[in-house]
Structure 1
């Protein structure tokens, strides 16, 4: 109880110290002065009536000023909380007005841009500011086109996401810019979040270089080993039991070579060196060609492959080699993780999603994917437990590579599955060539 009473008096004290209370004291003083004049010069009844009117006015004004004082204190408290939150964020925060005058800068932003808030707050940053050594980094953050490299990752007009690289000092920054608007949706300023990814991306690049070198070193001896096994197999026609063992060894070696190749392809994707050669292609003819490549494998597994829409004609802009990798990988999985005597069905479906798209569906009657693995199926090195049991040898990179290739074509890829009943992988491709991105990026999620 005493604590509540103390809180009431503390709040009252805060209100009395508010700037708005000064006006309240003025109103009360005028009320007393007017009452005194009326009481002295006017009849008593008129003086009392006037006094009561002024008291009523004073009460209304008092209530208004107290509410205003309370609101001001709440706004001040919220502003303090906001400033504290911004100050303690690990990401840099830069707030500036439409004229690029810096309004706020937190400690993380100070460290990233190598500036101090008191040096830049209130200062207008222009492209010419890059000539000032103290403002060089913050100018590149606010004007990414001035940086050594800038990659636009935005999926819409707002917020704007850009990766920035600077030369001196060498920084790799991830920035997100959004607008600050008033109640009329008028832009009053901008807030930019800046994350320093220099160390993390250097580690990723070093890891990619190591994987690339190691994979190259492994591929040469594995290829030589495979050739030797094939040569031995050809020279042992009179010893079928050894030929069978050599065939098994050769198959394992080929799987190892595929894993190494997957590692190399994933490294190229992350380095931005995957390389694409787009051309106009008739989709059904392209799919029929890919199916013809996997049919011998399907026959060996006792699986039938059907293409339901082989006569439909759809013109798409694709890289046949890269998209061929995607379909071959999906079809190969549909065959290898199927049941004896099962089937694989390929179908096409036109959809409307941000424009005209064609959906390619590959459905199988195989072992299915556990529900808990569906959200991770496109991540690097992820393989479901039942897939490992069915086929121990695999890199877990095929679907990660597939997702990046499909995204680079302007499409999406997904999966639907029921454990023990089969799986359907689908991917979309834009029928409008303008929807194919001009440049690609790495899709980790």
Structure 2
């Protein structure tokens, strides 16, 4: 309460001098009226002066309250921004710094006293210890920037990478407007992701190196097992053993290839070659190739072709087939005996996209597992009980490939009734990313 009283009194002290001059003039005029006006006129003037003083007092009181509330709100905002674990910088539209929290001080090794009130410019990059700060504020100066927002839309989110020293920031810029929608300031929140990114890179590098080291010897072992199972000198028992070993070797090789694919997707170097493609013809080819596997499992596959014309799409036929086969194999593997898989293509209403859905009549996915379905190594409990083998990487790889085509993927499911995997592909090439983005920046 004491603070509020001080705030109010400070306002009156800082009120423009013209208000107090006007008040003094009114008092002098009132005294003059008392001395020189007749009594009936004095009564009328007294009423007018009372009204003026009441209005003036109300205006001053309201102004004082607004000023007090503004100061309190500003102090609360500063307390919130100071308590954020990330670095926070606030500057006005002229780039004058008006807030620099303690985390920012530690991150950029600059004291708030040295920067508050300073107008930031690109030339400040020449100052000692200011280079990283200036490249963060003026991201066009940074060595590597990945933008996650459309130009002109706020909040703006960018990832900024530095090489020497190795630093990874995710920077969110918020535009602050006043009640008249006039731009007044910007808030930059800088999240230091360096430790997280370096750990992810280390694990990816380990997977890549280990997979390459294993793939060569395993290829030779598989070749020897294929030769051995076809040898005429072996009896039926030994041939069965050799055939089983060869099949296990091929499964292991597929797992290693999946690890390599995941590493390439994570690093943004999977490699795509987009070509104009008739999607219906392309899907028909993929379904014909997987049909023997479906028949062997007792599953029927249907292609629900659209009645309307479907525009061509730009895809990488080889890479997209990996995603499609992963989804279709899951639909076959986790289906019921004599089950069905239905593939359908539709135009997305009022959008330059096609939606491809793959619906099965299988075991379904528990609701609590749907959110994890497209993450690395995830397999739901009922999937593990149904099929003990599986890496949990197929749908993660499919998601990475589809997103690199400019599409999105989602899953709907009902336990013991089946699952629908739907993904989109753009009919307008401008929605295809110009380059691959490493998963660490998504």
TM-score norm. by structure 2 comes to 0.90
2:383 pairs, out of 369, 382, 387, with: 387
Contact conserved, 1:100 with 1:126, CA < 8 A, in 2? yes
Alpha-carbon distance, 1:127 to partner? 2.5
Residue matched to 2:122? 127
Residue matched to 1:275? 271
Residue matched to 1:225? 221
1:75 is aligned to 2:61: no
Assess, with a 3 A threshold, how the Cα gap between structure 1 residues 16 and 101 changes in structure 2: closer, same or farther: closer
Q: Distance in 2 between matches of 1:51 and 1:331?
A: 92
SS in 1 for 2:425: strand
Unaligned runs of 5+ in 2: none
Contact conserved, 2:265 with 2:438, CA < 8 A, in 1? yes
Q: Distance in 2 between matches of 1:45 and 1:236?
A: 135
Q: Distance in 1 between matches of 2:96 and 2:35?
A: 59
Q: Distance in 1 between matches of 2:419 and 2:297?
A: 17
Contact conserved, 1:415 with 1:423, CA < 8 A, in 2? yes
Alpha-carbon distance, 1:326 to partner? 0.3
Q: Distance in 2 between matches of 1:373 and 1:242?
A: 43
Aligned-pair Cα RMSD in Å = 2.7
1:93 is aligned to 2:88: yes
Residue matched to 1:105? 100
Residue matched to 2:204? 208
Q: Deviations over 1:325-369 (max 9, x none)?
A: 00010111111111111121212111135x321111111111111
Assess, with a 3 A threshold, how the Cα gap between structure 1 residues 391 and 245 changes in structure 2: closer, same or farther: farther
Alpha-carbon distance, 1:82 to partner? 0.7
Q: Distance in 2 between matches of 1:163 and 1:10?
A: 42
Assess, with a 3 A threshold, how the Cα gap between structure 1 residues 25 and 178 changes in structure 2: closer, same or farther: closer
Assess, with a 3 A threshold, how the Cα gap between structure 1 residues 308 and 25 changes in structure 2: closer, same or farther: closer
Residue matched to 1:193? 189
Q: Distance in 2 between matches of 1:236 and 1:388?
A: 38
Contact conserved, 1:236 with 1:243, CA < 8 A, in 2? no
SS in 1 for 2:424: strand
Q: Distance in 2 between matches of 1:136 and 1:112?
A: 12
Q: Distance in 2 between matches of 1:284 and 1:443?
A: 30
Contact conserved, 1:161 with 1:174, CA < 8 A, in 2? yes
SS in 2 for 1:151: strand
Contact conserved, 1:236 with 1:242, CA < 8 A, in 2? no
Q: Distance in 2 between matches of 1:38 and 1:308?
A: 96
Residue matched to 2:162? 166
Assess, with a 3 A threshold, how the Cα gap between structure 1 residues 343 and 250 changes in structure 2: closer, same or farther: farther
Alpha-carbon distance, 1:69 to partner? 0.7
1:339 pairs, out of 329, 336, 340, with: 336
Alpha-carbon distance, 1:324 to partner? 0.7
Alpha-carbon distance, 1:28 to partner? 6.3
Residue matched to 2:111? 116
Residue matched to 1:15? 8
Residue matched to 1:4? none
Alpha-carbon distance, 1:41 to partner? 3.1
Alpha-carbon distance, 1:42 to partner? 3.0
Q: Distance in 2 between matches of 1:246 and 1:296?
A: 24
Q: Distance in 1 between matches of 2:66 and 2:194?
A: 44
Assess, with a 3 A threshold, how the Cα gap between structure 1 residues 409 and 280 changes in structure 2: closer, same or farther: same
Contact conserved, 1:279 with 1:317, CA < 8 A, in 2? yes
Q: Distance in 1 between matches of 2:328 and 2:233?
A: 33
1:264 is aligned to 2:257: no
1:423 is aligned to 2:419: yes
Alpha-carbon distance, 1:13 to partner? 6.0
Which shifted more, 205-214 or 320-329? 205-214
Assess, with a 3 A threshold, how the Cα gap between structure 1 residues 21 and 96 changes in structure 2: closer, same or farther: closer
1:372 pairs, out of 358, 368, 371, with: 368
The count of aligned residue pairs is 437
Alpha-carbon distance, 1:310 to partner? 8.6
Alpha-carbon distance, 1:237 to partner? 7.8
Q: Distance in 2 between matches of 1:156 and 1:381?
A: 36
Q: Distance in 2 between matches of 1:144 and 1:114?
A: 19
Residue matched to 1:349? 346
Q: Distance in 2 between matches of 1:299 and 1:275?
A: 33
Contact conserved, 1:265 with 1:274, CA < 8 A, in 2? yes
1:56 pairs, out of 38, 41, 51, with: 51
Q: Distance in 2 between matches of 1:13 and 1:124?
A: 31
